Amino acid sequence: SPLRAVTGDFADGADAKGEARLRLKLAIPFAKPEALQLQGDFRFTGNTLVLDSGLPPVERATGAVSFTEKSIQVSEASGRFLGGPFAISGGSGRGGDLTLIARGAFAVEALETLVDPSWRGLLKGSAPYTATILSRGKRPMRVIVESTLAGVASELPPPLV
């Protein structure tokens, strides 16, 4: 679909549960159906969103996604992920590249199921983070996560402290 060309495989495997409202306007010319025009607005409140089966779900997801056949924009989106609040915004730019920026805080305990058991219990606390999600055409999606880890305490042995 034209919209899949904008989002790439970003939403493949995603699953959502909860209430939502979709407004959709679709125009398909009989003489030239490939010249379709699409405009939509998807709003959701208090949903549970599974982005990938290997990640914890996003709880209390609330926000808006606006889209056309050539673009997508995420605004006013927020929820709880990895034990803390987060907000996400962004969308597609010229050329169809998708960039989303998430800012939030994580709790170390919420990460424990994602790490090797030998690391569990050695870190405690929470910290702010910024995640940048990039989808560039047919290239694999990139996720860049940055955090100062301020607020995370370590019980690792020297020299890892």
- pLDDT > 90: what percent of the chain? 54
Q: Please tell me the pTM assigned to this model.
A: 0.81
Q: Span 31-41, mean pLDDT?
A: 90
* pLDDT for 134 beyond 80: yes
The C-alpha atoms of residue 133 and residue 90 are separated, in whole angstroms, by: 9
Q: What is the mean pLDDT of residues 44-54?
A: 90
Per-residue pLDDT at 10: 55
Confidence of residue 128 (pLDDT cuts 50, 70, 90): very high
Is residue 5 over pLDDT 80?
no
Residue 2: the pLDDT is: 54
Write the CB contacts of 14 (distance below 8 Å, at least 6 apart in sequence): 49, 50, 51, 52
Alpha-carbon distances, residue 91 vs 60, 74, 75, 128, 145 (angstroms): 21, 6, 9, 22, 18
**Distance of alpha carbon 68 from alpha carbon 137, whole angstroms:** 17
pLDDT grade, residue 132 (50/70/90)?
very high
CA distance 37 to 81: 35
Query: pLDDT value at position 136?
Result: 81
Confidence of residue 70 (pLDDT cuts 50, 70, 90): confident
